[in-house]
Structure 1
Amino acid sequence: MIPSTNYSNACEEKIGNRPTDNEYFTYKKRPFAGPSYQKLSNFLEQQNTDVAEDTNDYYQIIHNSFLLELMKQTICVSCKSKWNGDMSVAKREGLYCSLVFTCHCSNEIKINTSKQCPKTSKRDINIRSAIGANFAGISHQGLVKLCGVLNVPPPIGDDHFSRTITHILPVFESHKLNSMKNAIEEACSESNKRELTVSGDGTWQKRGFSSLHEVVEIMSTGSSTKVLGLERLSKSCSICTGALSIKHSNPTKYEEIKNKHKCEITHSGSSSSMETEGIYHLFSRSVRMYNVQYIK
């Protein structure tokens, strides 16, 4: 949406008298709120993680030239004179890099731009970027385009991106199950029984009745609607489809891939029947998984 002329003029009046030589900007810090923050807080509490906010625990995008300007305002610990040197990248891995500031006296200062995640060699910023790309629905290619527009280095490669998602998937699966289990217990406490009235809905990857993928969910109908169950249905498998390219040229490898991979196909009927089948699966396993019965 393009702002009106009056709004633009008002903005210009507010910032018109501010100095521009140092790229002067201000912003008001917005506190986290809403359902997403509550879910994150609950997850951190379950993991015995301190939810208390560290005011410096976030990323800031900054141009390299400003880093150099900052360094030039410091005193070198080696030569005891004003720092004067250059900056270089010793190592880069996706959005993470190791910077080296070298003074004219050859003294070096090294700094990492992202911390390393515990019990893994992966960097925090690369994991967060992979999660964000999936949450936003842009995947790896969309993340590459976004980084290009922002004039920042490209993210981790496609293969590394896929391995990162595979690495963190069990954590999200565990949190998903715990979240839905808690939602079911809340619904049971509100209704004072283990038989719940629920509503179901489905969403296709694309409109119409030709989609190859769908997600079906069951939701509570109490005062606070929450997701109680999810079922993903798919009529295609990316690995099976990719393996077809070597079916005739390398039949042995083709059979090996077919037999060893976990096929993503979970539905063999029509696309229009996905929602019905998904809800049936959710109803049929509710007693076994959560000791609760969906009655309608």
Structure 2
Amino acid sequence: MARKRKRSMTDDRVNSLKKTKPNLTAQANQTNQPELNQTTSQKKIENAWASCEIASPIPCSGNNIINMDKLQDGISQAALCRHCKAGELVLSQNAGAREGWAVVMRLTCTNCGIVTSFNSSHNLPGSRSKEVNRAMNLGMRSIGRGNSAATTLAAILQLPPPIGRKPWSKHTQTILSQVHDVSDTARLQVARRLKRQLIKEGSVPGTKADDADKTDSFIDSLTVDVAVSFDGSWKNRGFSSHHCIVAAIAQETGEILDAEYICNLCRECTDNSMDKNSDEYINWIVEHTPNCPRNFSGSSQAMESEGVRRLYERSEDTKLRYTVFVGDGDSKSFLSVTKAKPYDVPIVKEECVGHVKKRMGTRLRRLLNRMAGMYFYNIGVP
């Protein structure tokens, strides 16, 4: 007699799934009525069906890189002239009206010949400049590149050349002006938060803890002495960089109170071969000076102390006085500040324990490596 086959767990699971397969039609009519008695298998199957649904189309917005041949094919297959209802639309560009990456596109009907023109980019608010050119300038500046790098990128991507150097410089100056406005607002807000915290801690003479909740105008009128640490960062190591940024950091909040950019190189000034006494050079220098990136003529090593001195000189713009200088072991910055005498009160120097620990540890490890394998005799130690 043949032995009856034993049912496996797999068979039970398959039969269970078949019995619990959801009725998709019924569920489509009851989307707002969740099932309270669903099993785990039913929920898994519903989730699987939901993941297979076709995603809804996303509205077009922003900027996209589109192959013009593919765009022409799509227009030819899907669009007809709305005037004659018969002709196809041929896409072309108006080369004489191009502004950098902003081009004027033309749709010409093959039947009636009517032309519809439109620009590929919006104008900036209150300006004739194009959004895509401003965005390109900001993007390249954000990664430390300029007009030449944008030209190379456009050539590789088979895009139109970017805007010329003069409009590129105008976009850069506009962005720089807006960055300064945002920076000034941020500096004021950081100073307010620092003052309110010090008032709550009772570190501001002549104030009470409740004064921290007063209006911004009251907080802005207070002159407060604070402890600040300074740190400089160069583009390259080894004190050979031409670019440096120095930041002032509040010890109580850890926020950046202010920052200064230092540069001691300008390629245009260095590469200029005109006679220094000629009228041509004088006219050029008058036009170039407001846009010249060089704001320091000293060495790369002296950039940090110069930046700290400038930060001290403008600290009272936000009614803050950096009376406690938290150093990192380098005395040059503190000496430049004491020599400048920015306040009528003394400036006290305190050393950062973390930097002292770091420097001492580095020197001890260096000494240990240098004396490895050496033996000492008669040093007076039993």
Whether these two folds match at TM > 0.5 is: yes
> Could you tell which deviates more after superposition, 142-151 or 106-115?
142-151
| 2-structure distance, mates of 1:226, 1:134 | 25
**1:80 match:** 85
Structure 1 residue 56, shift from structure 2 partner: 5.2
Unaligned ranges ≥5, structure 2: 1-54, 205-223, 326-382
**1:102 match:** 108
Q: 1:79 to 1:211 in 2, by over 3 A?
A: same
**1:199 match:** 229
| 1-structure distance, mates of 2:80, 2:295 | 64
**1:122 match:** 129
| 2-structure distance, mates of 1:137, 1:220 | 28
Confirm or deny: 8 A CA contact 1:201 1:217 kept in the other structure: yes
Q: 1:258 to 1:160 in 2, by over 3 A?
A: closer
**2:35 match:** none
Residue in structure 1 matching 2:151, options 123, 139, 144: 144
1:43-58 alignment, distance < 5 Å: 57-58=61-62
Residue in structure 2 matching 1:272, options 294, 297, 301: 301
Residue in structure 2 matching 1:169, options 176, 185, 197: 176
1:280-291 alignment, distance < 5 Å: 280-287=309-316, 289-291=317-319
Q: Could you tell me the percent identity over the aligned residues?
A: 26
Q: TM-score, normalization: structure 2? A: 0.57
Unaligned ranges ≥5, structure 1: 1-25, 30-54
| 2-structure distance, mates of 1:222, 1:151 | 52
Confirm or deny: 8 A CA contact 2:245 2:262 kept in the other structure: yes
Confirm or deny: 8 A CA contact 2:100 2:160 kept in the other structure: yes
**1:255 match:** 282
| 2-structure distance, mates of 1:279, 1:255 | 33
Query: Greater relative contact order (Cα 8 A, min sep 6): structure 1 or 2?
Result: 1
Confirm or deny: 8 A CA contact 1:234 1:267 kept in the other structure: yes
- Partner AA of 2:90 in structure 1: D
Q: 1:67 to 1:259 in 2, by over 3 A?
A: closer
Aligned residues: 241
RMSD (Å) for aligned C-alpha atoms: 2.7
Residue in structure 1 matching 2:243, options 192, 197, 213: 213
**1:32 match:** none
- Partner AA of 1:74 in structure 2: A
Confirm or deny: 8 A CA contact 1:188 1:195 kept in the other structure: no
> Could you tell which deviates more after superposition, 183-192 or 259-268?
259-268
| 1-structure distance, mates of 2:61, 2:89 | 29
| 1-structure distance, mates of 2:294, 2:144 | 21
Q: Deviations over 1:201-229 (max 9, x none)?
A: 22223321233332211123445x43321
**1:33 match:** none
Rg larger in structure: 2
| 1-structure distance, mates of 2:229, 2:170 | 35
| 1-structure distance, mates of 2:190, 2:148 | 35
Does 2:89 match 1:61? no
- Partner AA of 1:291 in structure 2: K
Q: Deviations over 1:38-89 (max 9, x none)?
A: xxxxxxxxxxxxxxxxx755212222123223322023211113x5232111
Structure 1 residue 186, shift from structure 2 partner: 1.9
Confirm or deny: 8 A CA contact 1:218 1:227 kept in the other structure: yes
**1:45 match:** none
Confirm or deny: 8 A CA contact 2:263 2:295 kept in the other structure: yes
| 1-structure distance, mates of 2:84, 2:266 | 62
Q: 1:269 to 1:80 in 2, by over 3 A?
A: closer
Residue in structure 2 matching 1:154, options 150, 156, 161: 161
Q: Secondary structure at the match of 1:206?
A: coil
Q: Secondary structure at the match of 2:302?
A: helix
